Amino acid sequence: MECSHKNILLKKVKKEIFDMSFEAKTSVCSDCGAYLRDNKYEQKYMHWLKGIYQERRDKFQTQCHFSKNLIKCAQTYLEGYPGISPTVFMRALVTIYFSVVDSDKKKSALLESLLNSEIYDSFNNDKNRKKVNIQFKPKMMIELIAVSEFLELSPSAIVEEVVIKLMTVITSQDKRLREFWENEIRGYLDMFLKTA
């Protein structure tokens, strides 16, 4: 039987993230032990994260390795966006992927079915790589950590996969992938890069 969380106590709970620990009081069910994180707790957590974001930017970075060819393709694409660096562009791709594609089952299934494996594989298997550090905002980093815990992959591995997927879409000549790009990604990307 599912617990209805009737016996609630205010308790101090600990959360480990970025090799640091956050402690705050929140409602805890004394029957099943569930943490019922209330708004106050979430606010404190975000406040704490933003503090760390100010002092330890490095904790919100993913260290990725990308095919030099992929980076070149990104630079070519960015000729239409003066002043935007490949790392800012990659951050935009990852953020848009999670808010637009991954959260929509139909869109993510469509993208998977269209991905041109030849281009994808060439980016993925290229041994000629360069290290790229991508900086994320606290909210996106929390999402990445959640996804990485779920998939049992590192946040960097997830970022690499997403960037390779979307760079495959960008560089493909396939008509349906071009349409996917124009209809689902392009508008968000332009918006994102304008405010970057």
User: Which x/- pattern, by CB under 5 A, does the window 11-30 give for Zn ion?
Assistant: ------------------x-
Beta carbon nearer to Zn ion, 9 or 105: 9
Kindly identify the residues of this chain, within the stretch 38-67, that bind Zn ion according to CB under 5 A. Answer: none
Window of 2-10, 51-59, 70-78, 188-196 that interacts with Zn ion by CB under 5 A = 2-10
Beta carbon nearer to Zn ion, 3 or 20: 3
Provide φ and ψ at 115, rounded to 5°. -55, 125
- Is 5 a binding residue for Zn ion by CB under 5 A? The answer is yes
Smallest gap from Cβ 31 to Zn ion, in A, equals 4
Q: Which of 32, 36, 151, 191 binds Zn ion (CB under 5 A)?
A: 32
- For 162, the enclosing helix (H) or strand (E) is helix 155-171
Cα–Cα nearest to 26, from 45, 46, 51: 45
Which residues face 33 on adjacent strands? none
- DSSP E strands: which ranges in 19-151? 20-29, 35-36, 61-67, 129-135
Cα–Cα nearest to 44, from 5, 8, 14: 14
- Is 3 a binding residue for Zn ion by CB under 5 A? The answer is yes
CB 143 within 8 A of CB 136: no
Interface contacts to Zn ion, rule CB under 5 A: 3, 5, 29, 31-32, 34
